[in-house]
Amino acid sequence: MNIKNKKIFLITGTSKGIGKSIALYYLSNDNNIVIGCSRSKKTIKKSNYYHYQIDLSVDKGVDDLIIKIKKDFEHIDILINNAGIASMNHLLLTTSDKVNDILNVNLKSVINLTRDASKMMKKSKYARIINISTIASHLNLEGESVYVSSKAAIEAFTRVIAKELYPLGITVNTIGPGPVKTDLTKNLPEPKIKKLLSQLSSQEFTTPKDIINVLDFYIKEESRLVTGQTIYLN
């Protein structure tokens, strides 16, 4: 595989939704290679796309992914931690199993993958880690206490590891999108959606293009001093 002068992306949760939109955008540039992963099978057919069907919520999933990537690629330039799950339930209606699922996917897998991927990113000319959070953590949105807590933890994680990884040439930032029209929001009652949108300055849905706009800003070489930040799409 000829990867010389190619920018290599690792994006989680690429089978659908935001992750798939992000992957397709960066795949449109032939100088990019995108490594994607999800619990589901491959849904993107591009010659510069490589997919691994893996469950990142378990430690072995992260270990297996990194082992497979190392066999084919010498380094990673951009890591986008996009995969996540939510539970739109009151705390009193949230089971222990659901709490564990949310924390394992949204927090534990991000920490483990970031740690292991960072070791492959040290070989990059300049490297970027971008985590996907949510505007809900900024709004302290009721009815999503566990989900919001997991994402707030990611934002704190971003601020700390930005200091730890900058000496290695790696910047770390977060994006907090507003609600996006995905399978998750389609199943929400209309009054809940209206209430959520009413708390935003724009009172509009976030689109994948809005998220990609911030990704491009974080990724460009001129953003070398932008690290430890969270930009909310409000």
Edge-first strand listing for the sheet containing 127-132 = 49-53, 32-38, 7-12, 78-81, 127-132, 170-176, 230-232
Q: What are phi and psi of 53, to 5 degrees?
A: -90, 105
For helices 59-72 and 109-121, give the axis angle rounded to 10 degrees: 20
147 is catalytic: yes
Which residues, including other chains, have CB under 8 Å from residue 10's CB and lie 6 or more apart? 35, 37, 69, 76, 78, 79, 80, 117
Confidence class of residue 43 from pLDDT cuts 50, 70 and 90?
Answer: very high
Q: Residue 177: is its pLDDT beyond 90?
A: yes
Of 78-87, 119-128, 142-151, 205-214, the range with the highest mean pLDDT is 205-214
> Could you tell me the two tokens for 215?
């990704």
Q: Specify the amino acid at residue 212.
A: I
pLDDT in tens, 78-131: 999 999 988 778 899 889 999 999 999 999 999 999 999 999 998 888 899 999
Q: E strand or H helix at 70, and its extent?
A: helix 59-72
Show me where the domains of the chain are located: 7-232
pLDDT in tens, 161-175: 999 999 999 999 999
Question: Tokens 């920490």 map to which residue?
Answer: 111
* Cβ atoms within 10 Å, residue 163: 11
Q: E strand or H helix at 34, and its extent?
A: strand 32-38
Instruction: For domain 7-232, say whether CATH 3.40.50.720 is its number.
Output: yes
Which residues, including other chains, have CB under 8 Å from residue 179's CB and lie 6 or more apart? 135, 185, 193, 196, 197, 205, 206
Biggest CA–CA distance in the chain, Å, is: 53
d(CA 110, CA 131): 8
Q: Please tell me which residue in 49, 50, 52, 147 is annotated as part of the active site.
A: 147
Residue 2: the pLDDT is 65
Average pLDDT rounded to a whole number, residues 200-217: 96
d(CA 7, CA 9): 7
Residue 1: the pLDDT is 57
Residue 176's nearest CA partner among 133, 219, 138, 218 is 133
Mean predicted lDDT score pLDDT of the chain: 93
Which residues, including other chains, have CB under 8 Å from residue 42's CB and lie 6 or more apart? 15, 36, 49, 51, 53
